[in-house]
Amino acid sequence: MVTRNALLFLSRREGLKDFATRFAPFKKMTTRFVAGEDIEETVAAIREINRLGCTASFDHLNESVTSVAETEAEVREYLKILARIDETGIKSNVSIKLTQFGLGIDAELAYRNARTVVAEAARRGNFVRVDMEDSAVTQVTLDIFRRLRSEFDLNTVGIVVQSYLRRTESDVRELLKIPARIRLCKGAYNEPPEVAFPDKRDVDANYVRCMKLLLESGVYHGIATHDERMIAATVEYAERQRIGKEAFEFQMLYGVRRDLQERLAREGYNVRIYVPYGKHWYPYFMRRLAERPANVWFVLKNMVKG
Ligand SMILES: Cc1cc2nc3c(=O)[nH]c(=O)nc-3n(C[C@H](O)[C@H](O)[C@H](O)COP(=O)(O)OP(=O)(O)OC[C@H]3O[C@@H](n4cnc5c(N)ncnc54)[C@H](O)[C@@H]3O)c2cc1C
């Protein structure tokens, strides 16, 4: 039996990462979750997403970067993405990870790199979402976000919170005081029970509690989930509180529950698809397998089929 924890453990193995990213058949199996290797392939995928009535968030895959030069290359990549979004007219913002900008080297470096990208987004009237990574960096990610938010307005930079963390409800309450635009997700990393609820029912109950706080706040937030129960709870709460469909957006991942993405868009909800691309797909891809271990068999079947 392939378990979530085993897949999340493998997602952090550098040796496997090197092997998998060099081995062509592995690359092929990522296409369900990863839009392509470069910006242009991703622009084409986003055009199709826009055609179906959804918006997107561009994500260049890379995390836990360990050299300053590589963090600078990441900044250049994001400046290119922001320019291509304008040139092509696609409806997309961008998502970044602070470890991609050097958080593992020096928090100040990550802040400066992120600031360059956020300043460019501000200049172009676009929006940067700071993804949330594992709990070792939750506090520093929130601190850097607060600094960015003090320099840029509500509609230029936003943050992510994870309902599996015990601290999250309190973080949401504090972030709403600024205020901040928040993406609410369940959380994708392997966390110890001291920091995260081990029981899925608690994660879901916290998700619903936080969703209500977000919807009540009057700020435009992202409700990121493929869980039909979380979606139904959001739809029901919005209707009960007379909160319009334009007041928030649902967010889902590229390649996950496309039927649901299209259905919600047809029903008039704002739907944003998170679209990752790039050569460093391994940890992202493994986290997607961990969310639904049945995906492992789907992927292996396709590999054998060629
Ligand atoms: C737009 C977006 C941005 C995100 N950003 C972050 C972030 O910054 N930090 C972070 O920690 N996490 C992030 N996540 C991931 C998130 O934390 C969850 O791990 C992921 O969304 C699965 O949780 P779920 O809410 O879909 O519910 P689950 O209870 O995990 O899944 C509900 C149902 O959705 C379907 N499903 C879910 N995942 C998959 C999959 N991989 N393949 C196939 N079917 C699936 C299945 O039918 C499953 O039964 C993001 C998710 C989204 C949608």
Supply the mean pLDDT for the chain. Answer: 93
Over the stretch 200-258, which tens digit does the pLDDT of each residue have?
Answer: 999 999 999 999 999 999 999 999 999 999 999 999 999 999 999 999 999 999 999 99
Residue ranges around ligand 1 (CB below 6 Å): 131-132, 160, 162, 185-189, 224-227, 251-253, 256-257, 274, 288, 291-292, 295
Q: Which residue, judged by its Cα, is nearest atom 25 of ligand 1?
A: 225
Q: Cα Rg for the chain, rounded, in angstroms? A: 18
Nearest atom of ligand 1 to the alpha carbon of 273:
1
Phi-psi region of 89 (alpha: psi -120 to 50; beta: other; left: phi over 0): left
Q: Is 4 a catalytic residue?
A: no
pLDDT digits (tens, 9 = 90+) for 82-133: 999 999 999 999 999 999 999 999 999 999 999 999 999 999 999 999 999 9
Atom number, ligand 1, closest to the C-alpha of residue 189: 11
Q: Over the stretch 89-101, which tens digit does the pLDDT of each residue have?
A: 999 999 999 999 9
Angstrom distance (rounded) from CA 102 to CA 69: 10
Q: Tell me whether residue 183 is one of the annotated catalytic residues.
A: yes
pTM of the model: 0.94
Pocket probe for ligand 1: among 94, 95, 142, 185, the residue whose CB has the most ligand atoms within 8 Å is 185
Please choose, from the candidates 226, 179, 193, 220, the residue with its C-alpha nearest in 3D space to the C-alpha of residue 207: 226
Identify the residue whose C-alpha is closest to ligand 1 atom 27. Answer: 227
Q: Which atom of ligand 1 is nearest to the CA of 230?
A: 25
User: What is the mean pLDDT of the segment spanning 266-282?
Assistant: 95
